[in-house]
Chains A and B, each alone.
Chain A
Amino acid sequence: MLLSVIRKNKSLEAKRNPAFDTNRFAKFMIYFMVAYWAAILLLLGVLLPPLFEEVSPAMEPYHIMNQGLIYILLADFLLRTMAQPAISNEVKPYLLLPIKKKKLISTFLLQHGISSYNFFWFFMFVPFAFITIIKFYGFGGMFLYLLGIWLLMVMNTYWFSLCKMLFNEHPLWILLPILFYLGLGAAEFLLKSHPISIFTMNFAEGYIQGNILTFILTIAAILLLFWINYVVQKKILYDEISKVKDTKIKHVSEYKFLDRYGLVGEYMRLELKLVLRNKTAKTQFFMGFFIMIAFSCALAFTDVYDGEAMQAFLFIYNFCILGLMTLGNTMSFEGNYIDGLMSRKESIYILLRAKYYIALLFLLIPFAVMMLPVTQDKVSILAPFAYMMLSGGFIFALLLQTAVYNSRTLPLNANITKGNRSTSKMQQLISAGAFGLPIMLDTLLALPFGRMAAYWIEFTIGLAFIITHRYWIKNIYKRLMKRKYKNMESFRATR
């Protein structure tokens, strides 16, 4: 009974989400992407058997597929980060109803287990099993194999739920899945016997052969994860209800150095606090920051990307990735307090400038890191200057245009993947443009004019945008103010 009510409510929630309901483009994109991936999986399910036979004639294709099961489970885990909300976020609205918490948490956990998403990989496994397993084990073997795969996906659901729940409690819990998968990777690749792939191959064969112990072990793992999820969830809920958490902050940062920049400095301070004090903004920022550092390190310390095209790709995104991750959402977090901002004169204009200056400041990090390959003569000294200017001028100017069109509030502290995430058509186009244009521009300039001339042109374009930033930011501000009523209504509707 409770389960069917929850399932019905979840379906209504998805249908009536204002961000989804009013955005036909987002709706179309979601259905399109699901159909696209289903088609890809179907294709893989059909193409992989002959490919595996060719690669390793001594083995059956399902042996090879089963050796790679851990990769599929890892891919499934990563995909869930985009689709599966944390249970704690879902349980909250039901807490005050006269339902036992034990029953409530268990029902939500069960709902995740029986979710139709757990069948998504069947688009690949059904044709694959049909081609490779039936001829040896008949339909019974195929059915048992698919049952086993489904159980593994259910197990992955609970593993992911646990990781996400803990991560929501403290970002450092991200180390749990990282260390787990690193451990598996180390065992697989450092030991000559490749124990992980051998284990998954034998284990999955147990499904096909109907080995009861294999099923019992899988179900036991599911039950164990279900129980751990339940215990952790219950503790988190009780902590939250009884407000066990100390809400006092230990140190109130003042960023006094910004005092000298007047009102813009005040908004820069606000921007820094937005990024550092809110879970969603912080996660988004640090994801961009870590990718930027990873790109920088790859450039500075490895020779892997010495090819010119890959080098240009890494150089450009090294500079603009953080801006792509943050400026693309301009105004979405501000939607939470847009009324307060709009009731002050020109506050949005100064806010936009502050955001731009903060993004520019962070460009100094990849610039400093890029000095390493410069000193090693891997790249011209012009490259870091050209790419920094191109990012700070041209790309950031493009990204800030999203401020005009972003009209959906992003929750400051809910999970980044939960609710209200869909974006406007224009925002998607601008972000896609900002992501694709720089590399296209770089290639188009380098081909006819040569690499050094391309650097100079990029430097000049970027510099022009940086020098004129007040004008184009003012232009963004004026266009935003023309759309303000529409945007404000949407911000309120999605708050």
Chain B
Amino acid sequence: MTMLLVEGLSKRYRDHQVLTEVAFGVGRSEIVGLVGQSGSGKSTIAKCILGLERPHVGRILWHGESLSERTVRRRARRGMQAVFQDPRSSLNPRWTVRQLLSEPLDNWLPAERGVIRLARLARLLDRVALSADLLDRHPHELSTGQCQRVCIARALAPEPDLLILDEPLSALDVSVQARLIELLLDLHRTSGISYLLITHDFAVVADICQRIVVLDKGNVVETGKVDDVLSRPTHAYTQALLRDVLPMPG
């Protein structure tokens, strides 16, 4: 069954149509890449899914129920978490890693305290390959890569089914990107978590994703398995994008 289903999603800012009848889905344990250039509407889709923007037309279903229902939204807030592009500004600079990771846990496991909580925090950091020694550090005392790992750990805290990753690697240098891709794949293998990866980078999509949705000016122009789309793109826009970033076969 499709876990997240976006149906006929349209969004307009004043006279500017940002999204037009966008439709796609993310299944259980699936990694879907949402690809497009800047301004194609990728992040607006993420905001609509996360409830930060309200679509004008269309609906978003979470496990078959509409996210416009309050109770469904509440369930979805635990089941789907987000990681944004800039890890530094995604973390409250005045909080320690302990506070940052504890916040979602306080929401979902309010009774958990003391040693049990500490063990959970250490486990969370371990899952993203960070040491528990960092618990009392502030974001500015960490590298950008470490900050993004903390963001991922925080997103993993409520044990979600889906992570929405909005350009999670673009603020990082290439070597850190490679390690984070490895980490994301490892988490997917061990926990079966699904990803909706929003990116403009086909190389990252090729590394991580199983399925791809190509977006151009708010319209889905192509969708399919990653290997198929990357090797035999049917839409001119996808072909042009691929020509820019990947060497075309033949």
Bound pair (A, B): no
B residues near A (Cβ < 8 Å) are: none
A residues near B (Cβ < 8 Å) are: none
